[in-house]
Chain A
């Protein structure tokens, strides 16, 4: 993967360690190194974790607004027929490496808890994480521009003729693309699962949600409200064990 994350390991960590050494040397407890003295566990935890946390707080080189706009423009233009979630992960995690899978999953979880279109919420959170308010606006504008223009054009046509422009075959093609797009989203979930669901507890949580919503047809909100605390308990038990 590109170097965005590699940059994140070295410099901030070394910076922290330097400051910590300084703090020890000068006994200046109000220095930036102070929190490391209170939580001395931090420097010895695994590099991978630390890397995630560092890039979480401040990505070493956040993308320019133009690059952010282009990426979301691509996402909005390719996701006709569906599969938006898959496209967002493919572009931002796999191709650009602006966020990692951990961040992607957290932001997606947060997006589900907030009302409104999940993928728009996700774009807002990712955009704001990368570039603040301007980033959030840029991400949503990029995401919506092409779909909006196309829909307004379709709408104008529809209102003029008062008939659906889609013929029989176009409709069938849309159904086919939609069916494939659903597969794309499921595949995105399965790929994430292959990487993150390595222990039995989290695996059972994910399975319960899949059965609850996918098979039994329970309402999403209720399932989320119940399963987030359950998952939290599972996490805490696993940590204690």
Chain B
């Protein structure tokens, strides 16, 4: 039990530091290690877990299910801390460094330079996500309508998303 918990901690804390651009980057390696190396779950279970955890924020939450299967409730918690701990500490250090830099000239320039990059990434990752999932014309319609409504009106996101859910549940698939 302790050995399994240690394996979970070691595996996910390493993946945490390799997950550049988010958890999706390390999903294939996560699957390989959990299925073939440690035999905690089967390939089918991995896909089921992926489907289950996909809608749960903030992404990468599949690690909780893998840990839970491998070593129960404690395993799930250890996996969560291992997956978000190391990267969070890195983010904390970067944030502190930024904070300390105060009104330095380089910081002000970088601040100005980061804004268009961040805006581009926000829109680009939305488009990339739509293209990578099973988006039929109906789903694209929902995405497009939501984009327009939430950009140009004061509609509440929850209402709009609820409408999207109902629309596809009634009409779709």
Q: Do A and B bind each other?
A: yes
Does A158 contact B120, Cβ atoms closer than 8 Å? no
Interface residues in A, total, Cβ within 8 A: 111
CB-defined contacts of A164 to chain B, threshold 8 Å: 48, 51-52
Can you pick out 14 interface pairs between chain A and chain B where the beta carbons lie within 8 Å of each other?
Answer: A106-B111, A124-B88, A128-B96, A133-B92, A177-B161, A180-B163, A183-B142, A187-B150, A192-B119, A208-B120, A210-B127, A214-B124, A220-B20, A220-B121
In the complex, which of the residues B99, B117, B134 contacts A109, with contact meaning CB atoms closer than 8 Å?
B117
Assess whether A65 is interfacial by the CB under 8 Å rule.
no
> Which A residues are within 8 Å of any B CB, using their own CB?
42, 53, 57, 76, 78-87, 90, 102, 105-125, 128-129, 133, 136, 140, 143-144, 147-148, 150-152, 154-156, 158-159, 164, 166, 168-194, 196-197, 201-203, 205-210, 212-215, 217, 219-221, 224, 227-228, 231-232, 234-236, 239
CB-defined contacts of B53 to chain A, threshold 8 Å: 151
Interface size of B as a range? 35 or more
Does A112 contact B94, Cβ atoms closer than 8 Å? no
In the complex, which of the residues A128, A148, A189 contacts B64, with contact meaning CB atoms closer than 8 Å?
A148
Does B110 contact A232, Cβ atoms closer than 8 Å? yes
CB-defined contacts of B150 to chain A, threshold 8 Å: 86, 183-184, 187-188, 191
Does B76 contact A155, Cβ atoms closer than 8 Å? yes
Does B68 contact A185, Cβ atoms closer than 8 Å? no
Known A-B contacts A151-B61, A180-B160, A210-B123; A115 and B17 likewise in contact (beta carbons under 8 Å): yes
Add 7 more A-B contacts to A190-B123, A221-B20 (CB < 8 A): A57-B103, A117-B58, A140-B88, A176-B139, A193-B119, A213-B124, A215-B127
Assess whether B34 is interfacial by the CB under 8 Å rule.
no
Known A-B contacts A192-B119, A235-B112; A173 and B126 likewise in contact (beta carbons under 8 Å): no
Output the least CB separation between B168 and chain A (Å).
3
Does B21 contact A112, Cβ atoms closer than 8 Å? yes
- A214 to B96 alpha-carbon distance, docked (Å): 31
Does A188 contact B143, Cβ atoms closer than 8 Å? no
- A224 to B94 alpha-carbon distance, docked (Å): 16
Q: Which 5 A-B pairs have the closest CB atoms?
A: A116-B87, A183-B146, A176-B168, A209-B120, A180-B164
CB-defined contacts of A172 to chain B, threshold 8 Å: 168-169, 172-173
CB-defined contacts of B20 to chain A, threshold 8 Å: 115, 220-221
Does A176 contact B17, Cβ atoms closer than 8 Å? no
CB-defined contacts of B84 to chain A, threshold 8 Å: 116-117, 120, 140, 144
CB-defined contacts of B18 to chain A, threshold 8 Å: 115
